[in-house]
Structure 1
Amino acid sequence: MKVLSVLCALLITVATAKQELSESQYRDAFTDWMISNQKSYSSSEFITRYNIFKTNFDYIEEWNSKGSETVLGLNKMADITNEEYRSLYLGKPFDASSLIGTKEEILFSNKFSSTVDWRKKGAVTHVKNQQSCSGCWSFSATGATEGAHKLANNGTNELVSLSEQNLIDCSTPFGNTGCNGGVITYAFEYIISNGGIDTEKSYPFEGTDGTCRYKSENSGATISSYVNVTFGSESSLESAVNVNPVACSIDASHSSFLFYKSGIYFEPACSRTNLDHGVLVVGYGTENSQSQDSSSEPNHSNYWIAKNSWGINGYILMSKDRDNMCGISTLASFPIV
């Protein structure tokens, strides 16, 4: 369709100064985006969302014009502000340093595989949609528990999708606040104390807080303990990822994370201790690139594979071995079955 070709043309980045767009070009791009994402607004809301879209469009074009290793693009959230994004999708930021030493920290081994991808081993469930619920912590916790359950008994167990709603509704006594945010390890504490967590099939996600409806007969997995990687150590995280998918808390507050499309995600403004989002690290690898000699700057082609609700089919490749970028190894843990 005509507007689609207009949008594609507008999204082609150049290494020169930002292009000045006409109002009709913005309007065509917004119309096509609305159609693609099945959006509709009242007359007054249309103007508000259109202006926000223009701001986000310009931000994405400006970012991409600089030739960053991170490529941004319009997604289903292109009509919300950064403030709305943080309110709807992220937890309340917390200072992770306050949780140092709350559980034993272990470095398993100094011998790592060059690449790891637990998806290829059948230890990762489908990408899930957290909707407009700041329950990302529950998705990280279930993801790590799903992996641990699958990999127990030499990997002979069935991969079972577990209930985020169970954690949202039932782990409040352990310090979590449902769709207003939570801490991954508090979710593990609940599962241990409760003696299990229900399956997603029996207790599906609703995207809002509810009353606790756990039923032991619907339990899909149990855990006995959990392990924290060494605070801020990417080598410890790498060691842990060789054992199990790992639940991590990160700083995802920047619009660059919101609009991540491809490439290796690197945000210089990221905090390493002020964290607000949960992801599941399911592996790591290195992007194909020309080798560098010893006199050149460090190679920044290493990445973590982070399961999210958006990105490359729900995954974000986050910069690895780059001074704990966005706090990826600040608060990282996984359960023991």
Structure 2
Amino acid sequence: MKLALLATVITVISAVNAAASTDDVNTAWNDFKLKYGKEYRSLYEEIVSKAIFAENFNKIVEHNSLYDQGLVKYSLAINKFADLSNEEFKNTFNGYKKRTSDVGDVVVVNFVPDQKTEIPDEFDWRKKGAVTPVKNQGRCGSCWTFSALHNHFQNGELEPLKVNIFLKTGILASISEQNLVDCSFEDGNAGCDGGDMNPAFTYVHNNDGIDSEEGYPYQGRDLPCRYITSANVTSTKGYGNIERGNEEHLKAAIATVGPIAVAIDASQSEFRLYHEGIYYNPSCSSGAIDPENELDHAVLAIGYGSENGEDYWLIKNSWGTDWGDDGYIKMARNRDNNCGVAADASYPLNY
């Protein structure tokens, strides 16, 4: 056992040395540990983490060389995830898992664009004051709660629920993601082990509401359900679905309904190291064949536009403002639904 462990350590050390032909990696590694307060439980763990960091560092340098030549449309950067393997990262942070639940009397509709409404060429809900600050889900696969909770609630944090309240009352407040993490198991979700936005909407309907963030603050871990009716801020009668893979319908829904909860393929290492620009990845799935297995992360589509002739979706993530472009990412639009942005998209329905 000890010999096998020693062999592994030697292999990892060799990998670090091979990658670090100059002092660049060592300097970047020390800066990285200082900036993000990184501490490791053992020398072995630090050696392994540094080897992963070196690999990511080299990937970033090579990719950004292509970016500088105009051969790719987005850049990468060292961030707090740079010492994690892609597999470790996906298992911890990418928590979208397609679920099925008994909808009961939940209203479910299919979105149909109003043909009489002219859809603008670009849109950004932030400019209307209808988007709350970027949050950080932490080491919990709760991305589905942040995606779901924006568009619907009056004093709440489901992004789609938030905007619905905002449009009706002019009030933009935060709803409790932790309420969903702890309490929506019976509706098909699994807390920090993953979930789906539609069962989240179902829970809010069946529960006759959801608490405010102030009344039920986020903890980033599974805890016993502590919902209290006195902190309830809003409810929903059901949800609407966007036709799978229809980017024009998603565009219309964003402009006329509000920010839309979407599932995406965020399995590529370039996504977690994204910095700025329009993210297009030919290795990404479109989610057209098997969205249950092809999509792994939930985010919020808050707008769309074009930049230098390239169409994009404006996406709000839940990994903090120190990821991406202040917590946001522009993802390629009208490129065969790259990364599945329109493959599984929905929004809550107001009463």
Task: Normalising by structure 1, report the TM-score.
Answer: 0.85
Alignment partner, residue 254 of structure 1: 268
Shift of the 247–147 alpha-carbon distance from structure 1 to 2, 3 Å rule, reads: closer
Whether 1:143 and 2:142 are equivalent positions in the alignment is no
What is the CA RMSD across the aligned residues, in angstroms? Answer: 2.0
Alignment partner, residue 109 of structure 1: 114
Alignment partner, residue 36 of structure 1: 35
Whether 1:323 and 2:333 are equivalent positions in the alignment is no
1:303 counterpart SS class: strand
Which shifted more, 137-146 or 47-56?
Answer: 137-146
Shift of the 58–48 alpha-carbon distance from structure 1 to 2, 3 Å rule, reads: same
Whether 1:57 and 2:77 are equivalent positions in the alignment is no
Cα separation, 2, equivalents of 1:232 and 1:321: 10
1:144 counterpart SS class: coil
Whether 1:166 and 2:192 are equivalent positions in the alignment is no
Task: Answer whether contact 2:113 2:249 (CA < 8 A) is retained.
Answer: yes
Displacement after TM superposition at 1:271 (Å) = 1.1
2:30 counterpart SS class: helix
Which shifted more, 161-170 or 147-156?
Answer: 147-156
Amino acid at match of 2:170: N
Whether 1:285 and 2:298 are equivalent positions in the alignment is no
Whether 1:302 and 2:299 are equivalent positions in the alignment is no
Alignment partner, residue 175 of structure 1: 188
Cα separation, 2, equivalents of 1:154 and 1:192: 19
Amino acid at match of 1:316: I
Task: Answer whether contact 2:149 2:162 (CA < 8 A) is retained.
Answer: no
Whether 1:78 and 2:77 are equivalent positions in the alignment is no
Q: 1:95-141 deviations in whole A, cap 9, x for unaligned?
A: 99xxxxx9432222342112111111121111110101111001101
1:278 counterpart SS class: strand
2:114 counterpart SS class: coil
Name the count of aligned residue pairs.
Answer: 302
Cα separation, 2, equivalents of 1:151 and 1:174: 22
1:312 counterpart SS class: coil
Alignment partner, residue 266 of structure 1: 280
Alignment partner, residue 296 of structure 1: none
Whether 1:192 and 2:205 are equivalent positions in the alignment is yes
Q: 1:126-170 deviations in whole A, cap 9, x for unaligned?
A: 111010111100110112224444444854331110111100111
Displacement after TM superposition at 1:285 (Å) = 1.2
Task: Answer whether contact 1:281 1:305 (CA < 8 A) is retained.
Answer: yes
2:112 counterpart SS class: coil
Cα separation, 1, equivalents of 2:39 and 2:281: 32
Amino acid at match of 2:126: R
Matches of residues 173-252 of structure 1 in structure 2 within 5 Å?
Answer: 173-242=186-255, 243-252=257-266
Which shifted more, 209-218 or 155-164?
Answer: 155-164
Amino acid at match of 1:62: E
Task: Normalising by structure 2, report the TM-score.
Answer: 0.82
Cα separation, 2, equivalents of 1:23 and 1:173: 54
Task: Answer whether contact 1:151 1:157 (CA < 8 A) is retained.
Answer: no
Amino acid at match of 1:302: D
Cα separation, 2, equivalents of 1:263 and 1:115: 16
Amino acid at match of 1:136: C
1:104 counterpart SS class: strand
Whether 1:133 and 2:147 are equivalent positions in the alignment is no
Task: Answer whether contact 1:142 1:164 (CA < 8 A) is retained.
Answer: yes
Cα separation, 2, equivalents of 1:267 and 1:220: 39
Task: Answer whether contact 2:99 2:195 (CA < 8 A) is retained.
Answer: no
Task: Answer whether contact 2:98 2:195 (CA < 8 A) is retained.
Answer: no
Cα separation, 2, equivalents of 1:137 and 1:278: 5
Task: Answer whether contact 2:165 2:171 (CA < 8 A) is retained.
Answer: no
Amino acid at match of 1:282: I
Cα separation, 2, equivalents of 1:199 and 1:325: 35
Shift of the 125–275 alpha-carbon distance from structure 1 to 2, 3 Å rule, reads: same
Displacement after TM superposition at 1:92 (Å) = 6.1
1:56 counterpart SS class: helix
Shift of the 38–123 alpha-carbon distance from structure 1 to 2, 3 Å rule, reads: same
Task: Answer whether contact 1:160 1:220 (CA < 8 A) is retained.
Answer: no
Cα separation, 2, equivalents of 1:31 and 1:108: 52
2:110 counterpart SS class: coil
1:44 counterpart SS class: helix
Cα separation, 1, equivalents of 2:273 and 2:340: 19
Displacement after TM superposition at 1:334 (Å) = 0.7
Q: 1:181-233 deviations in whole A, cap 9, x for unaligned?
A: 11110000000111111111111111111111111110122112211111110
Task: Answer whether contact 1:149 1:157 (CA < 8 A) is retained.
Answer: no
